[in-house]
Amino acid sequence: MSDRTHELVVRQAQAMNTDIFEVGLYKPARPGAERRDEMLLRTWDLETLVGSIAWLRYQNADGRNIYIRPKGEHSLSLVDDLTADALERMRHSGFTPAIIVETSPENFQAWLNHGRTLPKRTSTAAARALAEKFGGDPGSADWRHFGRLNPFSNRKEKHRQPGGHYPFVRLIHSTGEVYEMSKEFLSGVEAGLEQARIEAERRRDWVRRHGDSQKNGAVKTIEEFRQDARYRGDGNRIDLAYAVYALSHGVSEDEVRRAIATRDLSKKGTTERQAEYLERTLRKASQAVHGEELAR
């Protein structure tokens, strides 16, 4: 089993076309337990990853799910929660995945190799467009989402089998190949982003010329949203409402991110979970403002 585990981990990692990986070990909180969800994050090269297999197996047996993604910007997009039919459509339409992993019986994740490293914004837009095109999970469509690492078990409680066992994550395909339609697809994604940029610049210019009707030209701050009685102090609603407003008025995503982070986000969990909350909020706001343009 050890030699086989070694072989499968190496095959998936090598097909990911990167030198450095981030490995996440996630343990959900048990119902009624006082402790929160836990995520251990490790940054490893292939040699360290392989040398840590025994430790990963121990952590997996102790209830942690094992995930992997490239470190930093990269050439891949993860499409999550796919059916076998969706995979067939991908293969027959020029979108053959570089990696296919069965995460639970008849449920799959696919990594597509674009053939070149993508900036974060382009990478997120490509992931969203692929999820929409093939029926993947839009909530997992961003530039840095984790995928499962085989051949460890999927410890989600809903997958627990009779006798208390969990299904193993299976590596189905691992050529690492660049999909056939990569150039055409990315051209469309980048054209959509450019159009969105032009529209955002138009909105920004309009604000500069005409100003905000309520604040004599000044874009509202997040503090004004926090003081607005309509939101009844609900931090999540305030963050999303502000993000939609700010993006539609030409404020950059980084500025919005920093504004939201001025409140205490510790209730969201670890630093990793807080960052995921920020990205999730920005993603929802961006979709509300120009989601159709990004998905072209």
pLDDT for the residue numbered 212 = 46
Instruction: Answer whether residue 292 shows pLDDT above 60.
Output: no
Same domain, 145 and 233: no
Q: How confident is the model at residue 33 (pLDDT cuts 50, 70, 90)?
A: low
Task: Write the pLDDT tens digit of every residue in 80-117.
Answer: 999 999 999 999 999 999 999 999 999 999 999 999 99
For residue 16, the model assigns a pLDDT of: 97
The answer to whether residues 189 and 256 belong to one domain is yes
pLDDT for res 295: 34
Q: Indicate the number of domains in the chain.
A: 2
Instruction: Read off the CATH number of the domain in which 14 is found.
Output: 3.30.70.1790
Residue 169 scores a pLDDT above 60: yes
Rounded-to-integer distance, Cα 130 and Cα 134, Å: 6
Same domain, 120 and 193: no
Residues 121 and 61 in one domain: yes
> Do 167 and 281 fall into the same domain?
no
Same domain, 165 and 286: no
Q: How far apart are CA 98 and CA 82, in angstroms?
A: 15
27 lies in the same domain as 170: yes
- Stretch 63-71: mean pLDDT, rounded? 97
Same domain, 54 and 176: yes
Bigger pLDDT: 249 vs 149: 149
Residues 12-31 have pLDDT tens digits of: 999 999 999 999 999 987 76
Q: Domain end: 127, 147, 180, which one?
A: 180
Q: Indicate the average pLDDT of the chain.
A: 89
Model confidence at 293: pLDDT above 70:
no
Domain that holds residue 31: 2-180
**Residue 140 shares a structural domain with residue 201:** no
- What pTM, to 2 d.p., does this model score? 0.73
Angle, vertex CA 215, rays to CA 210 and CA 217, nearest 5: 30
The two tokens of residue 286 are 């961006």
Same domain, 290 and 249: yes
**Cα(163)–Cα(161) distance, rounded to whole angstroms?**
6
Q: Which residue has the tokens 């001025």?
A: 262
pLDDT digits (tens, 9 = 90+) for 193-245: 998 888 777 766 766 665 544 444 568 899 999 998 898 889 999 999 999 99
CATH number at residue 233: 1.10.1240
In tens, the pLDDT along 145-163 reads 999 999 999 998 888 888 8
| Domain match, 130 and 270 both | no
Lowest-confidence range among 182-186, 187-191, 195-199, 201-205? Answer: 201-205
Both 253 and 278 in one domain: the answer is yes
